[in-house]
Amino acid sequence: MKDVAVASNELASPVQATGEKSKVGVKPIIQVVAGNGLEIYDFMIYGYYARYIAQTYFPSHNQYVSLMMSLMTFAFGFLARPIGAIVIGSYTDRHGRRKGLILALSLMSLGIIAVACTPSYASIGMAAPIIVLCGRLLQGFSAGAELGGVVVYLAEIAPPKKRAFYTCWQAGSQQISVMAASLAGFLLLYWLAPDEVRAWGWRIPLMLGCAVIPVMFWLRSSLAETSVFARKKKTPTVSEICTNLVAGWRTIVLGMGMAAMATVTSQTITTYAPTFISSLKLGDSAGFVILFFGGLSVLLWLPIMATVADRVNRRTMLIAVTLLAGVTAYPMLSWLAAEPTVLKFAVVELWFSFIYASYSSVQVAALVELVPPDARTSGYAFAQAVAAAVLGGFTPAILTWLTHAFHSSAMVGVWLAINAGISLVAALALDKKGTAARQAAGLH
């Protein structure tokens, strides 16, 4: 790969070569993050209703086995992300950020429709779980480049001293999705009887996601290309992109480590949370209310902590937040597991919402600054996708297994602490790459 300082320097001038300051409105941010929000909304709905999806598509006499099959299907969608990061990411680096985002949205839409509209196992037999698995794989394939494509687009339109603030809205759109999914879940419980939700009601939020797909295409159809890509006189070939990724494997590994805590914490406080609160027997409706305010908490903290991240040393902030997460994870979950209450669950949810917002706001900007422009989408997306596939996607299944095997909900804290440790090591390794590169590029 090119020198990291060069990569960061090129990223530092996302507007015209005349040296004028960029004036980026709200519109392009909304256009680019809206599709990402839809992607995450569907992921959340699948996680929220994993128990009902398990009964519909993966019936078993053993409820634990049925749930694990549903969660593993959820995880397999994440396994397709690295492939999508390379394939669609390379397409994006060759043909433009806008075209790549529209392609990702198209594939994502097909996956969402497949999961929402597939008949039950009782109706079509083994075809049902196979179609759902294929839908999840297609969604994962598109998400591999969608998330990275959104971040890269935001980074390339952002003024250099506001890069963390701009890129934080990728995670911000996810929180709006969390809130929307939580609200939909709460309203379902209010309007429908539990048996109706279990039988067919869980499909309603998925259908709502399908209904807004045309709006997503309308928003992205008028999305402007970034000036960073538009200024390129030559775009890299697929072979050159792959060569850059292989040559820059150290940067990719570093990025994977940086992404570990963000993806695992996000999956824990969102996708796994309904299953977790159900296992604690605290009530589904209370869980959806807490998840709504957890998403709102992240949405409020993200721009605040991103503003801080744009003013302080990236590495220092990453180290501080990972240490804070690692030290508090197990004690907080032990406290909750000892005597579960709705109030305790809310405290834990809000605490790790703050941790996630604080970390994600700086981690996304720090990682995108490491990747050179010729392979920026594929490089960033691949690092994020592998971390999501290996750690984040399997988090609900891992946590379900840990609590079942050790008969303790406190094991959730162990998994959070382990991944905080992985990201701490990555943050410590940023000394020469991240900090030096940003200083050389004038990105103090």
4-9+28-221+237-440 in CATH: which number? 1.20.1250.20
Q: Is the pLDDT of residue 200 over 60?
A: yes
The alpha carbon torsion through 201, 347, 293, 42 (nearest 10 deg) reads -50
- Phi, psi at 125, each rounded to 5°: 70, -140
pLDDT for the residue numbered 305: 94
Q: Provide the percentage of residues in the chain whose pLDDT is more than 90.
A: 22
Estimate to the nearest angstrom the gap between the alpha carbon of 98 and the chain centroid: 20
Residues with Cβ within 8 Å of residue 243, at least 6 apart in sequence = none
> Which whole number is the average pLDDT over 160-187?
88
Estimate to the nearest angstrom the gap between the alpha carbon of 206 and the chain centroid: 18
Q: Is the pLDDT of residue 51 over 80?
A: no
pLDDT for the residue numbered 441: 35
- Residue range 149-167, pLDDT digits in tens: 888 888 888 887 888 999 9
Q: Is the pLDDT of residue 81 over 90?
A: no
Among 6-20, 196-210, 342-356, which range has the highest average pLDDT? 342-356
Dist. CA 217–CA 277, nearest whole Å:
36
- Residue range 127-145, pLDDT digits in tens: 888 888 888 888 888 887 7
Q: Is the pLDDT of residue 371 over 50?
A: yes
Dist. CA 156–CA 307, nearest whole Å:
17
pLDDT for the residue numbered 19: 38
- Residue range 389-435, pLDDT digits in tens: 788 778 888 898 898 889 889 999 999 999 999 999 999 998 654 44
pLDDT for the residue numbered 433: 47
Cα distances from 196 to residues 28, 93, 128, 203, in angstroms, run: 40, 46, 20, 11
Lowest mean pLDDT among 76-80, 310-314, 354-358: 76-80
| Residue ranges covered by each domain of the chain | 4-9+28-221+237-440
Lowest mean pLDDT among 234-238, 320-324, 342-346, 356-360: 234-238
User: What is the pLDDT confidence band of residue 6, given thresholds at 50, 70 and 90?
Assistant: very low
Tokens of 268: 């824990």
- Residue range 260-286, pLDDT digits in tens: 999 999 989 887 887 788 788 887 777
pLDDT for the residue numbered 60: 67
> Which whole number is the average pLDDT over 235-259?
78
Contact between residue 84 and residue 142 where contact means Cβ atoms under 8 Å apart: yes
User: What is the pLDDT confidence band of residue 385, given thresholds at 50, 70 and 90?
Assistant: confident
pLDDT for the residue numbered 24: 60
> Which whole number is the average pLDDT over 169-191?
87
| Dihedral sign for Cα atoms in the order 247, 253, 254, 258 | positive
pLDDT for the residue numbered 298: 93
User: What is the pLDDT confidence band of residue 178, given thresholds at 50, 70 and 90?
Assistant: confident
Q: Is the pLDDT of residue 202 over 90?
A: no
User: What is the pLDDT confidence band of residue 357, given thresholds at 50, 70 and 90?
Assistant: very high
Q: Is the pLDDT of residue 206 over 90?
A: no
Contact between residue 380 and residue 148 where contact means Cβ atoms under 8 Å apart: yes
Q: Is the pLDDT of residue 240 over 80?
A: no
Tokens of 135: 């839908």
Residues with Cβ within 8 Å of residue 429, at least 6 apart in sequence = 254, 257
Per-residue HEC secondary structure of 197-216 comes to HHHHHCHHHHHHHHHCHHHH
pLDDT for the residue numbered 233: 65
Question: Whole-number mean pLDDT of the chain?
Answer: 82
Q: Is the pLDDT of residue 25 over 50?
A: yes
Query: Between 188 and 418, where is the model more confident?
Result: 418
